[in-house]
Structure 1
């Protein structure tokens, strides 16, 4: 579907995490280009501001359509502050794009919160953010969460007794586990959500997949399509680019979803209800 056939998003407010580079930056650019108000998240305030300035200078985006936020996802206190700031300033949020991500490091690394860093940055921070944004996320038709996941979730398993992989660590397995968790989270009945593998793109994560990738703008287009209220979704659906396909076996099983929620609540320090 060409941009000319897509609906205007001028009445939509969208938060994009990891919006300072790669797919996140291109997602923000395309959303703003279609009239959405875009909340740009970056690791630091300087990175977020630079991304907003670049969108205005190079893409002709209206600066009034952009708001910047900062939080280091390796610090859960900053994720909590981000959520509270967004809810206070944007009490209605139509779409949350959980895009921020990192490749797991070569050596096993634990955050100050006590979690393996890729599991926290790629999944736990987004889990916590989504739960805290629940008061703002609209339940009206078209409101949704879009998790930018990976086809590598198919190679993964969640190590329930050792999610931080302290006993046996490999960077690829740690990264894949974080993407599997993010994909499972899309099936959580508390939110209307989908997950999408945007294709192998030429970003910082490319070495995990291949030697060559498509332009980030091409991958972002698949994310933006799912932000459009004209695109009907089913909670927990998984897409590879623009095609809905079955995720890995067990991803949408109620038992797995509940088990992951319980584990995530424990690891981010949220009390379960």
Structure 2
């Protein structure tokens, strides 16, 4: 209970824009960067002269955000770039990734911030998945897999442990028991339940699993991946900033779970168990979920 209380009422952030030196030459992609936490993080990175790609569905909102941020920080020598992509449509992701790689020679950080929450019952992604699962997990996973080569190649150009992937999760409160995801044994995929908030929470658990999988697969290449609790606006951006740039996030912390506003947290026992196979005494849900994501996105990578 104390860990839950700590997440809900966190102390003042200690890693902020004041902690940063120039980010000149560094390149970042932030999904969902036209509002809320994503936009606040874009402001911080751009204010320190980074190149920031604002990834979102709506071109006019991207353009408006670029104008707003540029005007706020006229002293910046960085760049703000548009990256139009719809994570609810897996077919839109490969062209966006190709566009980015056609313009840049490095990618220092990918922040998978975009997501949807409690849409109308029955909402589906373009590929027919439950809308939140299709957007929050499958879309982000596809974008990551298409950009992994850019992240890996940047490791040799960047400071040690500075190339990172940040996955937005949640407080992980009120999750389904038994590993955080209700499984449809007939379809071999996450079950769509009647409660949309429960469907949403399953996607947040899914992002924790995908963060851990990314850390496991890319850690040997020098890429760090973390999952974290979501909090709104500026203070939420500080949690992301900690995961993206804090020197406390070392290779030994790869796969860590971060809580507001820039601290290492602990996952519930159900989720910890999900990372282990049944032979290891766990539920094996994490690998089962990763396998589902790989299967459903394979044709779009």
Distance 1:63 1:46 in 2: 23
User: In the alignment, which residue of structure 1 is the partner of 2:247?
Assistant: 230
1:55 deviation in Å?
0.5
What SS class does the counterpart of residue 193 from structure 1 fall into?
A: strand
- Say which is worse superposed, 220-229 or 121-130, in terms of deviation: 220-229
What SS class does the counterpart of residue 105 from structure 2 fall into?
A: coil
1:48 deviation in Å?
1.2
Distance 1:90 1:270 in 2: 25
1:224 deviation in Å?
1.2
Distance 1:229 1:136 in 2: 21
User: In the alignment, which residue of structure 2 is the partner of 1:209?
Assistant: none
CA contact (8 A) 1:7 1:228 kept: no
Distance 2:113 2:274 in 1: 19
User: In the alignment, which residue of structure 2 is the partner of 1:196?
Assistant: 228
CA contact (8 A) 1:48 1:68 kept: yes
The match for 1:261 among 270, 284, 290 is 290
The match for 2:155 among 119, 122, 139 is 139
Q: Which runs of no fewer than 5 residues in structure 2 stay unpaired?
A: 1-13, 219-223, 278-283
Distance 1:60 1:251 in 2: 47
- Say which is worse superposed, 16-25 or 67-76, in terms of deviation: 67-76
Distance 2:17 2:69 in 1: 18
Q: CA RMSD in A?
A: 2.3
Distance 2:195 2:23 in 1: 41
The match for 2:136 among 96, 117, 122 is 122
Answering whether residue 178 of structure 2 is matched by residue 158 of structure 1, we say: no
Distance 2:47 2:194 in 1: 42
- Say which is worse superposed, 105-114 or 62-71, in terms of deviation: 62-71
Distance 1:271 1:18 in 2: 21
Distance 1:52 1:92 in 2: 21
Residues 115-144 of structure 1: CA deviation (Å, up to 9, x unaligned) = 111011111101111011011013352111
The match for 1:246 among 259, 262, 266 is 266
Alignment of 1:93-112 (within 5 A): 93-112=107-126
Q: Of the two, which has the highest radius of gyration?
A: 2
**Cα gap change, 1:115 to 1:153, in 2 (>3 Å):** farther
Distance 1:13 1:186 in 2: 20
**Cα gap change, 1:55 to 1:67, in 2 (>3 Å):** same
Distance 1:194 1:136 in 2: 18
CA contact (8 A) 1:153 1:183 kept: no
| TM-score (normalizing by structure 1) | 0.85
> Which runs of at least 4 in structure 1 moved beyond 6 Å after TM superposition?
none
Answering whether residue 36 of structure 2 is matched by residue 22 of structure 1, we say: yes
Distance 1:125 1:13 in 2: 21
What SS class does the counterpart of residue 64 from structure 2 fall into?
A: helix
The match for 1:169 among 194, 211, 235 is 194
1:18 deviation in Å?
0.4
User: In the alignment, which residue of structure 2 is the partner of 1:212?
Assistant: none
**Cα gap change, 1:63 to 1:47, in 2 (>3 Å):** farther
| TM-score (normalizing by structure 2) | 0.78
CA contact (8 A) 1:95 1:143 kept: yes
Hey, which of these two has a bigger chunk of helix by percent? 2
Answering whether residue 43 of structure 2 is matched by residue 11 of structure 1, we say: no
User: In the alignment, which residue of structure 1 is the partner of 2:62?
Assistant: 48
